[in-house]
Structure formats: structure tokens, C-alpha cells
Amino acid sequence: MVRFPLAVSCGLRDTVGMSAVPQPVRIPVEEYLATSYRPDCDYLDGEIEERNVGEFDHSVIQGLLFRLFFDNRESWRIRVSPEQRIRLAPRRVRVPDVCVSGSEGPREQVVTHPPLICIEVLSPKDTLRKMRVRIDDYLNFGTRHVWIIDPGPRKAYVCSKTGFQEPEGGVLEVPGSPIRVVLSELFAELDRA
């Protein structure tokens, strides 16, 4: 019997005549890096892992953050990218919702140096366990500032190896720099969208 793939979506494969439970797809990192996914996926030790994206609040917050950082890129001396691949280790690639790097650093198609900030925007299907693993990956890579924005309850968190903490005064910032995200303004823009 010939079996044809029915679906390959970021790491799950189901085939005719096989188990109805999708099986992880294992591929070499070179194949992952040479492939485009819609939406892009993480690559973790040989397996492709889907990211939760695509809902309105998630998309709007991601766009607003990109616009804020992009509009201030010269005065803040940064580069900003939405959904930028970051190669954390030879077989580990994450794709944060927003990646901010210093403008003095190298310009890379796939980031291999720790960015200044990684921002994750939560979707309703995100779990604390999976988010903690993502955050630890960024922090262990050397990213100094990792933020989570949760559009549902209109909250944000500054992440460290010891936990998640709401930012003081409702402002996400990078000490010693002009970088500031005023959460009340961000969420007011979401409400107007």
C-alpha cells in the first residue's frame, strides 16, 4: 500500500493507514533553516514545534510593539524584528514574537548572538509550562530582557530565572536606556483596534 502524507504542519505528520495521532517530524537543522513555515515554528533538538499565533489580540499587540520599537529604532539604537529566528544552540531555534537587538551588533539572517529583548505575546492556548521552557531558553542564551505580554487580562511580566514579575509602575523598560513600553498606552491602542 502506498501512503501519502495528508498534512505536515510544523512538526506533525499524519499518513493514510497509520495512527490517527499525529507523529512528530524529525528533520536535520539544515533542512529546518532552509524551510519557510506559515506561521514559523520553533526547532527543538530535531523536532519542529508549532507556536500559538494568529488570534486578533495577539496579532495587534505584536504589531503595536513592532511599530513602537521600529519608530524609535534610531533614538533607542536598536533593530527590531517580528518572528525572528534565534539559534540558541546548534539544534535549538526559537522564534519570539518580537526580537530587539542593539544596532551595534551584527545583522544576522538567523540571530546567533543574544538579543537585547525577546518578547512573547500570550495566546489563550499557551501554557505556563511551555512558556517557562521558552523563557529559560532565552535567558540561558544570554538575553538580558525577556518580557511576556498577556492581552487577555491586560498584564505583562518581566521574566528572570527565578520567576515572572509585573513591571513596576506598569512600564516595561531597559535600565540605562530610553527604551520604555507603557502598558496602559499599549492596551489602550489594542482597545481602539
All three cell numbers of 179, joined, read: 527604551
Instruction: Judge residue 46's burial from the number of C-beta atoms within 10 Å of its C-beta, 0-12 exposed, 13-18 middle, 19 or more buried.
Output: middle
Structural domain boundaries of the chain? 5-49, 56-192
| Tens of each residue's pLDDT in the chain, 193 residues | 333 232 345 544 443 444 555 667 789 999 999 999 888 899 999 999 888 777 899 999 999 999 999 999 999 999 999 999 999 999 999 999 999 999 999 999 999 999 999 999 999 889 899 999 999 999 999 999 999 999 999 999 999 999 999 999 999 999 999 999 999 999 999 999 9
Nearest to 80 by CA among 92, 91, 72, 89: 72
- Does 1.20.1250.20 match the CATH number of domain 56-192? no
Distance of alpha carbon 78 from alpha carbon 179, whole angstroms: 9
pTM of the full predicted structure?
Answer: 0.85
